[in-house]
Chain A
Amino acid sequence: MEEKLQIIQKNAIEELNEIETKDEIEKLRVKFLGKKGELTLLLREMGSLPKEKRPIIGKMANEVRTVLEENIEKKKLEIEKIEKNKRLEKEKIDITIPGKFPDIGKRHPLLKVKEELEDLFLKMGYDVVEGPEIDTVENNFDALNAPPDHPSRDKSDTFYINEELLLRTQTSPVQIRVMKEQKPPIRIVSAGRTFRFDEVDDTHSPMFHQMECLVVDKNVTLANLKDSINHFVKELFGEDMETRFRPHNFPFTEPSAEVDVSCLVCKGKGCKACSYTGWSMELLGCGMVHPKVLENCGIDPNIYSGYAFGMGIDRVTMVKHKINDIRLLFENDIRFLKQF
C-alpha cells in the first residue's frame, strides 16, 4: 500500500509537470483525486489491511492527497498566469496607428496671429477695442490730420460709400473714437479689417488687417515708445531681435518713424530675403500723436502727449509662417487651413 501510494504521488506529480492547460489539470484531478480516482480507489482497498496498519496508511493517504492538491493548486495559478500573459501578448496593438478621437478644429492663421497680438497687449494693460469697418471720412482722415490733398484720400486709393462714409483704410480711426469718448490715461490696442483700392495679386489685397496701439497720458515720450516697441518685438519674434527707428512721415504723428526689425530669416546677419541689409523693412509705423489730433479729440496737447504704432497683421502672418501669397489667407482652402 505504502508503495502504491508513493507511486500514485510520483505519477501524479510527474503528469502534473507535463500539463499546460487548465482543462488538463481538471482531468488530472479527476484521474487521481476524483470519486473514481486512483487515490480514492486505492483507499477503498484499506478494508483489506490489518487494523493496526489502517491509521498509518490513512494518514499517509491524506498526506498524499494534500500534496497533490497543493501541487494542483500551484500548477493552476502557474497556468493562469501563463495564460493571462499569453492573452496580454495577443492583445498587443500597434501604437503607431493614429488616435481615434475626433479632430479638433483649426484657427485661421491670420486671426490667430491677430488674437495673439491682442492678448500680448492685453497683458501689458492695453484695452482691446474695436471699431466699425465702415467709418466716417472725419474719423479716418480729417481728425487724423490727413491734409485735404493727401493722395490716400483719392478715389483711386480709398473705397467710399458716399461723401461722408468710407471703408476705413487703417485702424487709426479707432484712436479717434476712443479719444473722443475717453479721457487719459488711455492705453488701447485695436486690430481688424482695413481696405484699400488695390487689385488682388500675391502681395496685395483690397482687404487686409492692421493692428495698432495708442497710449495717451501725461509725460509720454518717444523714449517710452521705443521701449514699448522693443518689448513687443522681442515678445513676438524672440529676444534676439533688434529694432531700428527711421524717421518717416505720417499725418497723424509728429515725430514719426518707421521701424525695421532684424531680418526674421537670418536674424540680422544679412541674407537674400533682406537684400543683405539684415533688416526686415517697414514692419511697423509709429510716432508721437500729432498735437492737432489730440486737439481734434478734445485732449489738451499742452497737458497730455501720446504715442501710437501700428502694423500689418497679414504681413506678420506671412513672414511668421513663410506664406508667399496673400491670396491664400482669404481663399480658405481646407488643405491650407489644416496646416496651422
Chain B
Amino acid sequence: MLVPINWLKEYVDINTDIRDLSDKLTMTGTHVDSIINMDKSINNIYLGKITKLEPHPNADKLQVVHVDLGNKKVKLITGAKNISENDLVPVAVEGAVLPNGMKIEKTDFRGIESQGMLCSYEELGIDSSLVPKESKDGIIIINEDIEVGKDIVDVLNLKGHILDLEITFNRPDCLSMVGIGRETAATLNTQFKYPDIKIKNEVEDINDYVKDIKIVDEDLCRRYYTRVIKDVKIGPSPLWLQRKIMDAGIRPINNIVDATNYVMLEVGQPLHAFDLDTIEGKTVKIRRAKKEEVIKTLDQSNRKLDEDMLIIADESKPIGIAGVMGGYDSEVTKNSKVILMESANFDGKSVRETSKKLGLRSEASSRNEKDLPNEIVVDACNRVCQIIEDIGAGTIVKGVIDRGDKESPLREVIMNPNNCNNLLGTNIEDRRMLDILNSLNIESKLHQGKIVSKIPNFRKDLEIEADLIEEVGRIFGFHNIPPKPLKGNILKGSKSELRKVEDKSKDILYGLGLYEITTYSFISPKEYDRFLVEENNSLRNYVEISNPLGEDFSSMRTTLLPNMLKVISKNSNYGIKEGMLFEIGNTFLNSDKNTPDEIRKISIGLYGGYDFFNLKGIVENLLNKFGLKYKFVMEEKLSSFHPGRTAKILIDDIEIGLIGEVHPDVRENYEIDERTYLAEIDIPKILKNKKEEKTYHQIAKYPSITRDISIVVDEDVLVGNIIEEVESMSIDNLEKIEMFDIYRGKNIEAGKKSLAYTMVFRSLDKTLLEEEVNDKYEEILERLKTVFNAKLR
C-alpha cells in the first residue's frame, strides 16, 4: 500500500519527520517496507506555453518549438509528436538536471540551437506504468489554467515522501488512507479527521433512471448500493487528482474512473461506474453466472464464466464480474451521458476464487476479496458523487437504491485489564488502556472494573479479549515491555529414542568419512522406472500430491535411493570421481490407515574407488554400534541391483535393510560410469532391536591355543556358511573362528575352492591342554566333512 504523506496529512496531524514517523508506524504494526522520496532535486524546469511550432528545416523528424516562459522566451528542438501550439508543457532550461542525471545545456541540432528540452513524466522520474495514456511516450500536456513560468515541482507536486506499507491479512481497513490515518493518529497520539462528505446539489429522482436492482444470490452479495449521475462530461481529471492517485500507484484514466479510484484509495471501498445507457431494461441483477456465459471485460478479452462466479447482469447479459472487473460494453466512455455508480459488498472468498480462476487481479479485487464491512458502501458512494460534482464531471441525481443488509449492531468485546497485564507481563494502568483503544476509534469505557469496547464495523478482526490485548500492547509498544525470565519448574529437555538412534548413526557415519546429503521428500514417479523397480514392488505404492509443482515433485518418495543416485550422478558428472554419501530422511508409503506410513531411513551411497565390502564394513560398523545380531542373506531377484552382489540385512528373519551393487542398467539410466554401491536401512527397526547395554566380560588370564584349518569345498559353499555351522556347534572354549584365506587354482579342482580359517581356543579357568584342543578340532572337521563335503587340504 502506497501512502503519500501529503495526502495522509488531510486526515491526521503529523508532528514529526518522515524517518521517525516510519519507525513509529513500524513499531505499532504497520511495517514500512520503504520510504520513497518524491523530491528528485528537480530545478530549472518551468511551465511554458508553446507559442509557435515549425518544422526543422534540416530534419524531417524534428520540430522547432518556441516557448513562452513568462519572464523569457526560448527556442528548442524536439522530436515529440504529441504537442501543438498553445499547449502548456514542462520546459527544462539550461542548467536543469533531470532525475536520471541528464544535464540540460544549449545544444546544436542540425544548425539550430536548442535552448532547452520539453519533458515527459518518465523524464521527471515517474514510473511509466503510472503515466496517463495521453501523456505516455510523449510530453506532459497540462490542461489547466496555470500561469506560465511556474516551477514544475509545484505544478506537478513533485515533492514529499511516499510510504510503502506492508498491510497484514487481518487489517483490510488499512488498505486506505483513512485506515492508515487512524493508525497514524493512534501511533502519534494526534487527532484523526474523517472526510466531510456532502453533496451540494441533487436533481430529479433515481427511480426515473433505474427500473430495478435485485440481489439474486444473497449469499455472495451482502449489499448493493447505487446512485445515478447525469450530464457527465468525460475527460481527463484535474491535475491534483491525477497526481494524487499516481503517487498512490494508480494510472489516471478519465475523470469518472479516477474519482472512483480516488475514493477506493481514500476509504478502501472499490466502486464501479456503468454507462447506464448500455444497461438493457435499466435493470441490474446480481446473480451467479450461467454455465458457458461469456463476458468481454474491460481489458477487451472474452472471459468464459462458470456457475460459481458472481456477476452483475442486466436483463439479458453480464455487464461485470462482481468485485473483479467491469464489462467492456458497459464501460464509461467519452460518449457516456448517464452513469450508474455501484458501491457494493461481495463475499470475499467468492471474489478471490473468481479472480484467481480468471487470472485477474486488480486493486479492486484485492480489496473486495477481504470481506469489507458493508456499512462503508454508503460513504464511498456519496464521497465519489461529491468528488464528481466538485470536479464538474456530472450532476448527481437525487436518491439511492440500496439493496441487501443494512448496518448491523456493533459487537461488544470485554477486556479485563488484569488479563491484559498478565498476558503482556506489564503494569499498564486502566486509564492508559482506555486511551489507547479510544485513539484507535474503538469506543471503550470502564464498567465494573472491566473495559467494555464497542468494535467499529471496519475492525472485523477484533473478536475476543486477546485481540484487544494486542491492540493495547502494540500501541503501548512491544519495545516498551521489559523482558522477564520464564518462571516455573526447571525442566530437563529430552529427545525421542528414534532421534537418539538417528543422531548416533550420523556420528558413526561422519566418523567413517561419509558426507551427509539432504534431498527433497518428493520425487517424480518416473524415478521408479529409472531405478528399475519391479511393477509389483511395494515401493511403487507411493503417495501422490494432488496439486504438484510439475511431475518432478508429484509424489512422495518410498525409498531414499533414487535421490541418492541422482546426487551421485550429478557429482560424477561434475568430474568428482568418488564419494561416500549418506542421507537420513523420511519415506512415505500408502497404508490402510488415515495417514500414510512415514518411515525414517538411512541411505548410504559409495561410488568410485570402493567395493561391496567397503560398504558392508560401514554397515556392519553401524549395526554393531547398536549391539544388533544381524545377518546378510544373498538377494538375487531385485532388478535394481547386481544379482550376485546384493544382500538383505536380517534380524531374526525380519528384513531391516538392503545392501548391494547397483545394476549396470540402473547406472546407465543415471549416467554413472563408476561402480556404485547402495544400502538402505530402516531406523525404527534398529531402534526396536538395539541392545546397547554393555556387560563386562572377564579378560582372559590363561593362554590361548590357535589351530588353523584349511578345507576344500564346492564353490557354492559360502565363507559365512562354515562360520555359522561351527558357531552353531557351541564348542566349549572356542573363542573365535575367522576366515583368513580363499584360494582357487593350482592343485584345487575346478568348481571348488580352498578356505582357510583360524580358530582360537581359550578357557577362562585354566590353561588348555593340546589334547583337549585336538579333540575339538577333529570334531569340527568331522562336522564340516559331513555337512559341506569338505576335504582337508
Cβ of B95 within 8 Å of any chain A Cβ, yes or no, is no
Partner-contacting stretch, out of A41-49, A54-62, A225-233: A225-233
Contact B478 A332 (CB under 8 A): no
Min CB distance, A222 to chain B, in Å?
5
Cβ 8 A contact of B474, one of A127, A135, A247, A337: A247
Contact A133 B571 (CB under 8 A): no
Contact residues in B for A207 (Cβ distance below 8 Å)? 520-522
Contact B470 A247 (CB under 8 A): yes
Cβ of A305 within 8 Å of any chain B Cβ, yes or no, is yes
Contact residues in B for A160 (Cβ distance below 8 Å)? 545-547
Contact B349 A149 (CB under 8 A): yes
Give the docked Cα–Cα distance between A195 and B553 (Å).
11
- Given known A-B contacts A104-B513, A106-B516, A222-B481, A249 and B493 have beta carbons under 8 A apart: no
Interface string of B423-436 (1 = CB under 8 A from A): 11110000000000
Interface string of B358-397 (1 = CB under 8 A from A): 0000000000000100000000000000000000000000
Contact residues in B for A103 (Cβ distance below 8 Å)? 513
Interface string of B9-39 (1 = CB under 8 A from A): 0000000000000000011110100100000
Interface string of B475-498 (1 = CB under 8 A from A): 000110111111111111111101
Cβ 8 A contact of B478, one of A218, A246, A254, A305: A246
Contact B576 A224 (CB under 8 A): no
Interface string of B502-533 (1 = CB under 8 A from A): 01001001111111111111100000000000
- Given known A-B contacts A160-B547, A248-B29, A254 and B470 have beta carbons under 8 A apart: yes
Partner-contacting stretch, out of B48-56, B166-174, B228-236, B272-280: B166-174
Cβ of B543 within 8 Å of any chain A Cβ, yes or no, is yes
Min CB distance, B773 to chain A, in Å?
39
Min CB distance, A156 to chain B, in Å?
7
Contact residues in A for B488 (Cβ distance below 8 Å)? 185, 217-219
Contact residues in B for A107 (Cβ distance below 8 Å)? 506, 510, 516
Contact A132 B595 (CB under 8 A): yes
Contact residues in B for A333 (Cβ distance below 8 Å)? 570-571, 574
Contact residues in B for A115 (Cβ distance below 8 Å)? 503
Contact B425 A332 (CB under 8 A): no
Within 8 A of A (CB), among B559-610: 567, 570-571, 574, 576, 579-581, 586, 588, 594-596, 598
Cβ of B548 within 8 Å of any chain A Cβ, yes or no, is yes
Contact A197 B513 (CB under 8 A): no
Min CB distance, A166 to chain B, in Å?
9
Contact A246 B470 (CB under 8 A): no
- Given known A-B contacts A161-B546, A288-B423, A334-B579, A128 and B496 have beta carbons under 8 A apart: yes
Cβ 8 A contact of B595, one of A134, A199, A275: A134
Cβ 8 A contact of A161, one of B27, B356, B474, B545: B545
Contact A125 B499 (CB under 8 A): no
Contact A246 B493 (CB under 8 A): no
- Given known A-B contacts A106-B515, A149-B348, A330-B519, A226 and B545 have beta carbons under 8 A apart: no
Contact residues in B for A206 (Cβ distance below 8 Å)? 520, 522, 549, 553
Cβ of B536 within 8 Å of any chain A Cβ, yes or no, is no
Give the docked Cα–Cα distance between A110 and B520 (Å).
13
Closest to A288 in B: B423
Cβ of A64 within 8 Å of any chain B Cβ, yes or no, is no
Cβ of B284 within 8 Å of any chain A Cβ, yes or no, is no
Cβ of A5 within 8 Å of any chain B Cβ, yes or no, is no
For the A-B complex, the count of residue pairs with Cβ-Cβ distances under 8 Å equals 240
Cβ 8 A contact of A127, one of B493, B556, B579: B493
Number of B residues with CB within 8 Å of any CB on chain A: 87
- Given known A-B contacts A161-B544, A334-B571, A223 and B424 have beta carbons under 8 A apart: yes
Closest to A123 in B: B493
Min CB distance, A305 to chain B, in Å?
6
Cβ of B638 within 8 Å of any chain A Cβ, yes or no, is no
Give the docked Cα–Cα distance between A150 and B170 (Å).
10
Give the docked Cα–Cα distance between A230 and B482 (Å).
11
- Given known A-B contacts A105-B509, A206-B549, A185 and B588 have beta carbons under 8 A apart: no
Contact B486 A133 (CB under 8 A): no
Closest to B516 in A: A108
Cβ of B352 within 8 Å of any chain A Cβ, yes or no, is yes
Contact residues in A for B490 (Cβ distance below 8 Å)? 125
Cβ of A124 within 8 Å of any chain B Cβ, yes or no, is yes
Contact A226 B478 (CB under 8 A): yes
Give the docked Cα–Cα distance between A245 and B388 (Å).
44
Contact A121 B493 (CB under 8 A): yes
Cβ of A290 within 8 Å of any chain B Cβ, yes or no, is yes
Which of A223, A224, A257 has most chain B Cβ within 10 Å? Answer: A223
Cβ 8 A contact of A246, one of B26, B34, B469, B594: B26
Contact A132 B598 (CB under 8 A): yes
Contact A128 B494 (CB under 8 A): yes
Within 8 A of A (CB), among B129-172: 168-171
Contact A288 B352 (CB under 8 A): no
Interface string of A237-249 (1 = CB under 8 A from B): 0000000111111
Cβ of A329 within 8 Å of any chain B Cβ, yes or no, is yes
Within 8 A of B (CB), among A145-172: 148-151, 154-156, 159-162, 164-165, 167
Contact residues in A for B423 (Cβ distance below 8 Å)? 221-222, 255, 288, 305
Cβ of B464 within 8 Å of any chain A Cβ, yes or no, is yes
Cβ 8 A contact of A254, one of B356, B422, B466, B595: B466
Cβ of A102 within 8 Å of any chain B Cβ, yes or no, is yes
Cβ of B4 within 8 Å of any chain A Cβ, yes or no, is no
Give the docked Cα–Cα distance between A72 and B621 (Å).
59
Contact A133 B598 (CB under 8 A): yes
Cβ of A111 within 8 Å of any chain B Cβ, yes or no, is yes
Q: Could you show 7 A-B contacts with beta carbons less than 8 Å apart?
A: A161-B544, A187-B491, A221-B425, A246-B29, A248-B29, A329-B518, A332-B581
- Report which B residues bind A (CB closer than 8 A): 26-29, 31, 34, 168-171, 348-349, 352, 356, 371, 422-426, 464-467, 469-470, 473-474, 478-479, 481-496, 498-499, 503, 506, 509-522, 543-549, 553, 556, 567, 570-571, 574, 576, 579-581, 586, 588, 594-596, 598
A125-B491, A185-B489, A291-B466 given; name 9 further pairs at CB < 8 Å.
A107-B506, A107-B516, A161-B546, A161-B596, A164-B594, A222-B478, A224-B487, A247-B28, A249-B171
- Report which A residues bind B (CB closer than 8 A): 102-108, 110-111, 115, 118, 121-130, 132-136, 148-151, 154-156, 159-162, 164-165, 167, 185, 187, 189, 193, 195, 197-199, 206-207, 215, 217-224, 226-228, 230, 244-249, 254-258, 275, 288, 290-292, 305, 329-335, 337-338
